[in-house]
Chains A and B, each alone.
Chain A
Amino acid sequence: MTGEVFHHALKFRTEVCIGCSHCMNVCPTRAIRIQGGKAMLIGDRCVDCGKCYNVCPVGAIIVEQDDFRRIFDYKYRVALIPNVLLGQFPEIVSISQICSVLMGMGFTHIFEVEHGTRLLKDAMGKIVGEKDRKRPLISSFCPAIVRLIQVRFPMFADNIILLKTPLDVSAAYYKKKLLDQGAAPEQIGVFYITPCAAKIAAIKSPVGEEGSSITGVINMDFIYNKIYTSVKQGHKAEKSCSLPAMERLGAGEMLWTLTEGESQQMPGRALAIDEISNVIEFLEMMENEEVTDIDFLELRACDQSCAGGILTSGNRFFTVERLRKRAQLVESGADEMLYQNRGESIADLAGYLRAQLSVDRVKPRSMDKLDEDMGKALTKMRRVQEIMNSLPHVDCGICGSPTCNALAEDIVQGEADIRQCIYVQKKMEQQGELPCAESMEIMKAIWGEKKFE
C-alpha cells in the first residue's frame, strides 16, 4: 500500500488527498496540519474518533481492515456482530437473511456481541455501587473516549471503570466455548464486524489490556454492501441458517450500544453523553467544578453512539428506531422467535469470564503540555503569549494549523514559522520585510504547488 500511515486504523492516502483542510477543521483534538498540500496527522493526539473520515470529500481517509480472505486461515470462523449491523436494514431484511449472507461469505459461526453485556452489567453496577470510589465512574465502552481521556483529560484516567468491553467478553466466551467443544486454539478465528475505527485501534493496540481474543476486524460497510447486494439480487435466507441456539438477548442488552444503553442500567445518578464535542465540553466542565454527585457517566464519541459509527451506512436515527422497536418486541415476547431458547447462555461460562473481566489501569499520557520540564514549559508559554499578540485571532487555518493558538504552539515547538500566517505576511510585505516571491514560496510549502498554478 502506498500512502502515508494516518494512525492506527485511520489511514491517509496522500495521493488522493487534495489538501482541502476540512479534516483539520473538524478534528476535536487538533491533531491535523496541512503541509505540502496534504493533511498530516500528529499521531499521538489522534483518538480515532473518525470525524475527519466523515468530512473528507474525496475519500482520502480510509479505515484499515484485515484482508477478508484471512478468515479462511481458520477452521472455525466466528463473526461477532454488533446489534447496529442488524439495525442498518429495514425490517423486511430478516436476521436470518443477514446471517445467511454471512454464512455464505464463509463464516461458520455468528454471535451477537451484546451477549457480553450480561456479565458486564452486574460487574459494572457493583463497581458503581461501591462507596469509596472516585466519582463519577466512567464507562470504558467507547475506545475513542478512553483515548480522549488519556490525552486530554488525564485527570479522569482513574475514573474509568477497568472492565473489558462487551466485545472482549463475547470474544473470550466464544473462543472458550469452541475450545471446550474440542477446537484447537489455532483453528479459531474470531472476527469482529466493526462500526468504527476506534474499535479497530483498540483491538490492535489495547489501552489497558494485554492481548485480545479477537483475531481480526472487518469493516461494517464492507459487510453492508454484501448483504445489500444479496438482498437486491433476491436471494432468500436459507432455512437452516439462524443465529446459534442461544438464550435470547434481553431488551437492555440489545440497546447497550445506543445512547443511554448503559446509563439506564446503572445504579445511582447516571448520565449519558454522546458525540465527542459534547463529551469534551462536559469533561471540561467537570475539570472546573467538583462533580461528585454523579455516579456514572456513559460517554460515546459518535452522535447516537454506535448507530452513528463512521462505518455504518444506514441513517443513524432509523437505526436507533429499528433497534428500539425490536427491543420492545423482545420485551413483550412478540419477537419473531429468532433465538431458539435452548438454554445455552453466556452465563454458563460466567465463572471463567468473570475471572478475566478486569483490565489494567488506563495510563494518562497528556498531550497538552508544552514541555516535560516546567521551566522550559514556562518559557514556551511566554513565547506563545508573545506570538499570540501578533496573530489576528481569526482561526482561518491558512497557515496550515487549525487555530492561531495551534500555530503559536507549533512555532514554539519548532514545527512552524510565524510567516505562515497570512496576516503577518501581509504586514511584512507592506513593510518591505518579506519579498512577494518568498511569501509565495511559504504558501506553496503549506498548500502545495498545484493550488497556485
Chain B
Amino acid sequence: MSEKVGVEYNVDGGNFTRAGYASSEIKKILKKLNVDMGIIKRTVVATYEGEVNIVAHAYSGTIYADIDTERVRIVLRDEGPGIPDIEQAMEEGFSTASSQVREMGFGAGMGLPNMKKNADVMNISSEVGKGTTVEIILYFKQIASS
C-alpha cells in the first residue's frame, strides 16, 4: 500500500483575518514531506486563492488535502451561493466581489484563473444556492501524457 496523509481544515465565510491559515498549514506539511519547493509554491498559491474564495464568496467550508508519493490533491468544499456560470467565473478579470471585498484588496477576478494556472488538474462543480466544490491536483513528477 502506498503511503498517504490526509488533513482537513474549516474555513469561516467573511473572516478575512484567518484567510490563509489552511494553505499555510498545508504548506508546512509539504515542507516536512520534502516536496519540491516549486510545487509547494504552486500548491500554496492555488489553495490560498481557493481559501480566499470561500471566505469572500461563501458562508463556510472545509479544505481537505491528501498527499501520497505521486501528488497532492486538495478539495475545497463550501456552503454558499454557488456559481451560476462557471465558464464565466473562470475568465480572467470576472468578479462579482462587493466593493467591501475590493477595498480589502481582493476582487480582481484573478483567483480562479490563477488556481487553474498553478494546478495540474482543476475541477469545479457548483450548485446555485447550495455551494461549490473545487478540486485541484498537483503531480510531483511530470507525467508523460501531459
Name the residue in B5, B24, B45, B67 with the highest tally of chain A Cβ atoms < 10 Å from its Cβ: B5
A289 cross-chain contacts in B, Cβ below 8 A = 20, 45, 48
In this assembly, does B76 line the interface, its C-beta being within 8 Å of a C-beta of chain A? no
- Interface of chain A, helix or strand or loop or mixed? helix
Given contacts A284-B24, A368-B32, A369-B33, contact A290 B5 (CB under 8 A): no
Distance from B26 Cβ to chain A, minimum over Cβ atoms (Å): 10
In this assembly, does B69 line the interface, its C-beta being within 8 Å of a C-beta of chain A? yes
Report the contact-size class of chain B (Cβ under 8 Å from the partner).
20 to 34
Given contacts A374-B35, A375-B69, contact A382 B5 (CB under 8 A): yes
In this assembly, does B102 line the interface, its C-beta being within 8 Å of a C-beta of chain A? no
Rounded to whole angstroms, the CA-CA distance of A371 and B34 in the bound complex is 7
Contacting residue for B37 out of A154, A290, A372, A381, CB 8 A: A154
Q: Are A374 and B140 in contact (CB under 8 A)?
A: yes
In this assembly, does A340 line the interface, its C-beta being within 8 Å of a C-beta of chain B? no
Distance from A115 Cβ to chain B, minimum over Cβ atoms (Å): 37
Q: Are A288 and B24 in contact (CB under 8 A)?
A: yes
In this assembly, does B41 line the interface, its C-beta being within 8 Å of a C-beta of chain A? yes
Given contacts A287-B27, A288-B20, A288-B23, contact A381 B48 (CB under 8 A): no
Given contacts A374-B69, A378-B68, contact A288 B32 (CB under 8 A): no
In this assembly, does B18 line the interface, its C-beta being within 8 Å of a C-beta of chain A? no
Contacting residue for B31 out of A368, A374, A379, CB 8 A: A368
In this assembly, does B44 line the interface, its C-beta being within 8 Å of a C-beta of chain A? yes
Rounded to whole angstroms, the CA-CA distance of A379 and B23 in the bound complex is 22
Name the residue in A155, A285, A364 with the highest tally of chain B Cβ atoms < 10 Å from its Cβ: A155
Interface string of A347-385 (1 = CB under 8 A from B): 000000000000000001010111111110111011001
Q: Are A374 and B37 in contact (CB under 8 A)?
A: no
Contacting residue for B67 out of A290, A364, A378, CB 8 A: A378
Distance from A384 Cβ to chain B, minimum over Cβ atoms (Å): 8
Query: B34's closest neighbor in chain A, by CB?
Result: A369
Rounded to whole angstroms, the CA-CA distance of A178 and B140 in the bound complex is 55
Interface string of B1-25 (1 = CB under 8 A from A): 0111101000000000000100110
A285 cross-chain contacts in B, Cβ below 8 A = 20
Query: A366's closest neighbor in chain B, by CB?
Result: B31
Rounded to whole angstroms, the CA-CA distance of A379 and B69 in the bound complex is 10
B3 cross-chain contacts in A, Cβ below 8 A = 375, 378-379, 382
Distance from B33 Cβ to chain A, minimum over Cβ atoms (Å): 5
What are 26 A-B pairs at a CB distance below 8 A?
Answer: A155-B40, A155-B41, A287-B40, A288-B20, A288-B27, A288-B44, A289-B45, A289-B48, A290-B45, A364-B37, A369-B32, A370-B33, A371-B34, A374-B140, A375-B2, A375-B69, A377-B32, A377-B34, A378-B5, A378-B67, A378-B68, A378-B69, A379-B3, A381-B32, A382-B3, A382-B5
Q: Give chain B's interface residues, CB within 8 Å of chain A.
A: 2-5, 7, 20, 23-24, 27-29, 31-35, 37, 40-41, 44-45, 48, 67-69, 140
